Chains A and B, each alone.
Chain A
Amino acid sequence: MQRQKTAPMHDHKDFGPDITIAEFQKKMVEKHTTMSAGHLKLMAISGFLLLIGIIAIVIRATTDGFEYRAPWGYYAATVAFLLTAAGGAPLIIVALRLTHAHWRRPFARISELYAAVGILTLGLFIPLLLLVPTANNRFTLWFQADNGGSSIRIPWAPHFWITLLISMLVVSGIALLLVSARSDKANLNDNMNKPRGWLSKGWVGNSKQWSIKKGGLTFLGACYFFLLIGTLSFFSVDFGMALVPGWKDAIFPAFQSITGLQAGLATVIVTLWLVRKYCGFEDYIQMEHFWAASKILLALSLMFFYFWFSGFIIFWYGRLPAEVNVLNLLMFGPYKVFFFSAFILNFVAPFLILLWNSARKTMWGPTLAASLILIGTLIDKIRIYVASYSVDFNNSPVSIFDHKLNLVPAFQAPDVIDVLIVLGCLSGGVFMLSVAAKLFPIFSLWEISEGIKIRTVKPYLRTKLLILGKPE
Chain B
Amino acid sequence: MTKMLAVFKEEEKAAKATEELEKAGHTNENFDILTGSPYPEGAFGEAEPKHHLYVYPLVGAFVGFSMGLLLTIATQSAWPLVVGGKPILSIPAMMIPMYEGTMLGAILFTIAGILFESRLPNLKGGLYDPRITEGYVGITIEVAKKDAGELQKLLEKAGAEEVLRRES
Contact = CB atoms under 8 A, between A and B. Distances in A.
B40 interface: yes
B44 to A, nearest CB: 6
A5 B43 contact: no
A461 B45 CA distance: 9
Contacts of B84: 317, 319
Interface string A319-342: 100000000000000000000000
A7 B28 CA distance: 11
A4 B40 contact: no
Contacts of B45: 6, 462
Contacts of A463: 40-43
B41 A2 contact: no
B92 interface: yes
A469 B93 CA distance: 49
A4 B27 contact: yes
Interface residues of A, number: 21
A9 B41 CA distance: 8
Given A319-B84, A461-B39, A461-B44, A6 B92 contact: no
A312 interface: yes
Interface stretch (B15-23, B119-127, B149-157, B158-166): B15-23
Contacts of B48: 4-8
B22 A7 contact: no
Contact of A4 (B11, B15, B39, B47): B47
Contacts of A462: 15, 18-19, 42-45
A462 B27 CA distance: 15
A461 B15 contact: yes
B125 to A, nearest CB: 24
B85 A6 contact: no
B29 A4 contact: yes
A10 B42 contact: yes
Q: Which of A1, A3, A8, A461 has the most CB of B within 10 A?
A: A461
Contacts of A250: none
A461 B12 contact: yes
B28 A6 contact: yes
B30 A1 contact: yes
B41 A3 contact: no
Interface in A306-364: 312-313, 316-317, 319, 357
B11 A8 contact: no
A278 interface: no
Nearest to A463: B42
Nearest to B58: A355
Nearest to A319: B85
A3 B42 contact: no
A174 B48 CA distance: 50
A6 B29 contact: no
A146 to B, nearest CB: 36
Contacts of B43: 460-463
- Residue from A3, A319, A462 with most neighbouring chain B CB atoms (10 Å): A462
Closest 3 A/B residue pairs (Cβ):
A7-B41, A4-B47, A7-B42
Interface of A: 1-10, 312-313, 316-317, 319, 357, 460-463, 465
Given A8-B41, A461-B11, 9 more contacts: A6-B46, A7-B49, A8-B48, A316-B92, A319-B85, A357-B54, A463-B40, A463-B42, A463-B43
27 contacts: A1-B27, A2-B27, A3-B28, A3-B29, A4-B27, A4-B29, A5-B47, A6-B45, A7-B46, A8-B48, A9-B42, A313-B92, A316-B92, A317-B84, A317-B92, A319-B85, A460-B40, A460-B43, A461-B12, A461-B39, A461-B44, A462-B15, A462-B18, A462-B42, A462-B44, A463-B43, A465-B40
